[in-house]
Amino acid sequence: MTVTTLHTPSHREALWELESAFDRGDLITVFGECSVEYEGRAASTLGLGNRLLVLKPDGSALVHTDEKRTPVNWQPPGSTHHAAVRDGRLRVRSERTSPDETLTVRFTAVHQLSAMGVTGGRDLEVTGSEADLRRRILEDPDLVEPGFEPTAVERDSAAGPMDVFGVDASGTAVVLELKRRRVGPSAVSQLARYVDAVAEEPDRDPDAAVRGILVAPSITDRAAELLADRGFEHVALEPPEPETPGAETKATDSAEAAEPKAETTEPEEPKAETTEPEAETLGTETASDDDEPIEADAPEPSGSASRESQQ
């Protein structure tokens, strides 16, 4: 693995290294004293200070201070990086079009410049998303309510696509809005938009009701009021098992669901999903182990360092 590093380089030296790093497609970090300007969708200025600039080969640019997860300034992927020496400073500029945006970083001093060849390994696997929650519901629609039958996912409406659409035990249309986490008023509005759109569809009996159900781990008080005003309902449900199944079971919210689920029997054959119903335990991991047995069990064999946050 090639890593090129310059310590307190002159602007010319830094410029030269940036040039070749751009050519190599390296990931670049520049640490130094700089001011930053941005102009595009908005505009901003940032006075002199020490920051870390990261330039990625895909055109991304990040300016980080010593605080916050979000960069103080940035440029999204697809931008074009330029470097030059102007007015006695090293200027790095990242530009893009549609929208036209320019990020300019002017270094009065470069403390360190590194260029690294980075390759692949971007295959992140995530669990606990709204898609996981949807899978869970499609596999066992009774979790929403006994007799619920999903008929479509992402069904389009005049107000946009609905997460899940279906009918209840009495044949009434039901719109589900799913959220992976606790939600507020905006989720109720979103649900209302879809329900209203369905209710007004021309081929529908104007007198036929359309139910709206917000499926989320929990909702705020205000959201509950708005939900009640519209005659909508809330079903407490969350994505399956982001926490490891072994220990640390946190099904605390299940109490909110209250409704004794009449045992998760064979789903009413949800047309759209004929998968084996036993998959209700989709979160199971064979031979699950605790978080890190090797490390957790081992006594400190080689020392350890820690630091407390000081915000």
CA 136, 242, 129 angle in degrees (round to 5)? 55
Q: Which listed option, a copy of itself, DNA, none, makes contact with residue 45 (CB within 5 to 8 Å by class)?
A: a copy of itself
In a 3-state reduction of DSSP, which class is residue 137? helix
As a whole number of angstroms, the distance between CA 8 and CA 30 comes to: 10
Stretch that binds a copy of itself, among 139-147, 164-172, 189-197, 261-269 (CB under 8 A): 189-197
Minimum CB separation from a copy of itself for residue 169, in Å?
A: 29
171 DSSP assignment: S
The answer to the question of residue 42 lying near DNA (CB under 7 A) is: yes
Choosing from 106, 179, 211, 234, the residue that interacts with DNA (CB under 7 A) is: 179
Minimum CB separation from DNA for residue 151, in Å?
A: 17
Range list of β-strands (E), 182-302: 210-216, 233-236
Stretch that binds DNA, among 14-22, 72-80, 267-275, 299-307 (CB under 7 A): 72-80
Count of beta carbons in the 10 Å neighbourhood of residue 189? 13
The answer to the question of residue 310 lying near a copy of itself (CB under 8 A) is: yes
Q: Which listed option, DNA, a copy of itself, none, makes contact with residue 220 (CB within 5 to 8 Å by class)?
A: DNA
Choosing from 9, 30, 51, 107, the residue that interacts with a copy of itself (CB under 8 A) is: 51
* Total residues at interface with DNA (CB under 7 A): 43
Nearer to a copy of itself, 200 or 278 (CB): 200
Please answer whether residues 73 and 44 qualify as being in contact, where contact means their C-beta atoms are separated by less than 8 angstroms. yes
Stretch that binds DNA, among 12-20, 41-49, 205-213, 247-255 (CB under 7 A): 41-49
Q: Is 52 exposed, middle or buried (0-12, 13-18, 19+ CB in 10 A)?
A: middle
137: phi then psi, degrees, rounded to nearest 5: -70, -40
As a whole number of angstroms, the distance between CA 173 and CA 119 comes to: 50
Beta bridge partners of 231: none
Minimum CB separation from DNA for residue 98, in Å?
A: 3
Minimum CB separation from a copy of itself for residue 204, in Å?
A: 16
